[in-house]
Structure 1
Amino acid sequence: MVDDAPRRTVLIKLDVSSDREADLHHTKNQFLDCANQTSEWAWRYDDYCITSKNKAENALYNDLKEEHDLTANLVQKGIRRAIEAVDSGVDKLKKGEKTSQPVFESWSVVYDKRSATFNADHATLSTINGRVKTDYVLPPENEREDTPFGRYYENDEWDASHATLQYDEHSEEFYLHVTVKQPRGDNEERQEATSHGEGTENGVVLGVDLNVTGAFAVTSTGKFVGSADYLTHKRNEFEKRRGRLQQTGTRSAHLTIQRIGSKFSDWSLDWLHNCVNELLEEAERVGADSIIFENLKHIRENIANGSKFQQWAYAKFVELAEYKVEDRDLFVDFVSPAYTSQRCSCCGFTHEDNRDDKAFVCQQCGYEANADYNAAKNVAVRYCGYIHRGQKSRGGWAACQSALKSGTLNVNGDFNASA
């Protein structure tokens, strides 16, 4: 990774005018109500619990927004907070641990840069009644250097990304827990050290190839995630059953179609959710800074023979990955898909005869590999090539390396074996 500890939390006491305290308390009440309503909707013992933030927002946002006076961003934050807790509960259940539906009672409101502004000596926070200016209660300027506020919040190398507002009922004081993040790649000293060969790591990218047969996702490190064949099989079984019911034509059959359609939709989302979790685990295992897919605009070209459902699954998988990396030290980006399946990731020779279904054999150098694994490596190498030619990554790197099975490879062909 570029930085072993890129995040810090800075606790800041706030000075809130007495005439605006009620606005913050009412905002908290509505924020927690959004989270609790979402939790109740998502937690289902008799069916699959809902762990998709996107599905929850689609189902609940409009009603919650109409019911509450919160800004759109705070409604979304309340939904997402609940889904994250439900997701954690589902993981515990899968491990055989006891847990129950998440309930939110502790005083807290989650803010990001759209609902709050973090300034040098104050913050402005969104409430049900407009923005509230809250001054920071700080030690004298000459005493801040050795405090978290001085080391991180006032340090230009750290950036305030989001915060949690809390209230101490005993002291009747408000506190802001500000999370600051050290941006990747834009530290001049780090870039200078890299250019002088001092061994500073650059960005590490994990290439991903998505498929409609074989493994659903294959990474440049050789990780095979999910079975596209199994997903297609489940879809076909659903279509066969729906077809039989449609031929029946009764009202009961119609209601059954709706019910099994909803169950299949929930199952599909849960399946994709678990696949994304596997992908993120692999990215963290190899120390990747980014996950690279082929450009979504070319979905139809990549799976021209696939159904609309397969295209939806492809797009939804990437969408879920983008959602889940928001709170991690990762980002998602894309490359052109042109010839990634025909190019040899070993020597670069590109020819349509190199690939035969899932087998890849380079007609020039003789390199043999699983075709999807070879394509995933090409995705990673192509992104590194973009950066090498001067294109800025979302991490701001000056250079990067491809994550492979046993180490990393840069564009010059230098291989660094894993420890």
Structure 2
Amino acid sequence: MKIVVRVKLELSAYQADTLAATLRACNRAANHVSEVAFRTGEVRRNGLQPMVYRQVKEDFDLSAQPAVRVVKKVCDAYATLKANIKAGNLGPKGSKRRNKAESKSIRFREDAAQAFDDRCLSWQTEARTVSIWTTAGRLKGIRFVCSENAAKMIADHRQGESDLVFRDGSWYLLATCDIPEPPLFEHADWLGMDLGIVNIATTSDGTVMSGRRLERYRKRMRALTAKLQAKKTKNAKRRLKAIRRREQRFATDTNHCISKTLVSTAERTSRGIALEDLTGIRERVKAKHEQRYRLHSWAFAQLGAFVEYKAQRAGVPLVHVSPAYTSRQCSACWHTHKQNRVDQATFACRACGMTMHADINGSRNIRHRAADAWQRGAVNRPSSA
């Protein structure tokens, strides 16, 4: 399985300026290659590279291997666009969003990430330094900082390209590590997990992980952002720049903590994990105007991805089941009725009279469906994170 490890670079002013100039040169070259690809319709690397290779090297001051990486970057971007169109992520044919994407060439920001292979970037993990190609020559001895586990993973399992990223005034390298995948252990039962907004995750054991703390933080950040935007002063703009992505980082950390707890619980009790397949839920659910922000800031896909890759690393079986009627079905007698769900937190079966927390009832329904889904093979078994 593949894991991405991020390390932070410690740069001098000259080194930072040199890397910034390198990113600008690579992305300007990528924009030129993208225009050629859009104009000619040639988006295959074998067909596009002979058309632009010499001009990219001469006009944008790139060496041979970086020029090849730039062409590959453009081809990958068009392959991703084609896949999104085929999957319907940009809307049906003739929609405004799809027409906008198809009517012009793909553009790259001047500080967009750039991939470097082993010919352009070398790692010295024991010394915690890297050597990287730039338009001003090769920079050697650039120090990076990371945890001991991250450094060991890079030394033992790093493969393929590494991405140079500039974000919020700092420079990072993202290294792809291919670690061996442990075999799935024999599970005795399933741990059902119901995902939600009020309660981020609820397990069939009765553990409720509330989203109240995260919701309060989001509300406070929205109020602070609105207040600073209204001021329109230089100091307010500096403060807005400083706090950008803070809410996102807070939500990501919360999802990491929840997923780690769930996977460790399943591993300790020799159980698999059962999740709802919530693909397309934002298109299916109709929310009131005041609830749309909460719905679209719900990071359920990220939490599911974290649970999946952590389960894969631990050898914990994982299955996705249909979420249909899990909130209306009684986990004791299987009676399904719309009025069984009294309110957000209360479930009361109209047939057998059983009452319990609504999210716990839903997680138990997910647990019951997991065994059948695993046995018939109609599941998403852990494959790659």
What range is the shorter-chain TM-score in?
0.5 to 0.7
1:222 aligns with 2:222: no
The residue that corresponds to 1:209 in the other structure is 194
Kindly provide the amino acid, as one letter, of the partner of residue 351 in structure 1: H
Q: Cα 1:127–1:284, aligned 2, differ >3 Å: closer, same or farther?
A: closer
1:386 and 2:373 matched: yes
Runs of 5+ unmatched residues, structure 1: 1-33, 42-61, 79-99, 116-125, 129-161, 164-178, 185-200, 397-419
Question: Are residue 110 (structure 1) and residue 110 (structure 2) matched?
Answer: no
Pairing partner for 1:344 from 330, 333, 337? 330
Using the alignment, how far apart are the partners of 1:265 and 1:328 within structure 2?
A: 26
Return the alpha-carbon distance in structure 2 between the equivalents of residues 301 and 347 of structure 1: 28
| Range moving further from structure 2, 312-321 or 236-245 | 312-321
What is the aligned partner in structure 1 of residue 358 from structure 2?
A: 371
Counterpart amino acid of 2:157?
V
Paired position in structure 1 for 2:281:
298
Q: Deviations over 1:308-363 (max 9, x none)?
A: 55444222211222232231112443222211100001000001111112111111
Question: What is the identity percentage for the equivalent residue pairs of Structure 1 and Structure 2?
Answer: 24
**What residue identity is the alignment partner of 1:370?**
H
Residue of structure 2 equivalent to 1:240 = 223
- What amino acid does structure 2 have at the position aligned with 1:218? T
1:307 is matched with 292
Contact 1:218 1:224 in 2 (8 A): yes
The one-letter code matched in structure 1 to 2:225 is R
CA 1:39/1:370 → structure 2, altered by over 3 Å: closer, same or farther? same
Residue 120 of structure 1 is matched in structure 2 by none
Residues 340 and 347 in structure 2, CA contact (< 8 A), matched pair in contact too: yes
Mapped partners of 2:333, 2:182: distance in 1: 39
In 2, Cα distance between equivalents of 1:355 and 1:242: 37
| Inter-partner Cα distance in structure 2 for 1:257 and 1:333 | 41
RMSD between aligned alpha carbons? 3.9
State how 1:19-98 maps to structure 2 within 5 Å. 38=7, 63=113, 65-66=115-116, 68-69=118-119
Structure 1, residues 29-56: CA drift from partner, whole Å, max 9, x if none? xxxxx96x71568xxxxxxxxxxxxxxx
Secondary structure in 2 aligned to 1:292?
Answer: strand
Closer, same or farther: CA 315–304 of 1 in aligned 2, 3 Å: farther
Cα distance, 1:223–1:247 mapped onto 2, change above 3 Å: same
Among 325, 331, 339, the alignment partner of 2:311 is 325
Structure 2 vs 1, CA of residues 203 and 249 (structure 1 numbering), >3 Å: closer, same or farther?
same
Cα deviations by residue, 1:171-216 (Å, 9 ceiling, x for unpaired): xxxxxxxx584466xxxxxxxxxxxxxxxx6663221111111x22
How far apart are residue 268 of structure 1 and its match? 2.0
Partner secondary structure for residue 221 of structure 1: coil
Structure 2 SS opposite 1:109: helix
Q: TM-score, normalised by structure 1?
A: 0.49
Letter matched to residue 110 of structure 1: H
Looking at structure 1, the residues matched to 334 and 154 of structure 2 have their Cα atoms a distance apart, in angstroms, of: 57
Q: Given residue 236 of structure 2, which amino acid in structure 1 is its aligned partner?
A: A
Unaligned runs of 5+ in 2: 11-111, 126-144, 163-177
1:204–1:288 CA contact under 8 A, matched in 2: yes
The answer to whether the 8 A contact 2:192-2:275 is kept is yes
| Number of residue pairs the alignment of both structures matches | 240
Q: Structure 1 residues 334 and 285, CA, compared in 2 at 3 Å: closer, same or farther?
A: same
1:375 is displaced (CA, Å) by 0.4
Q: Give the aligned partner of residue 249 of structure 2.
A: 266
Tell me the SS of whatever aligns to 1:356.
coil
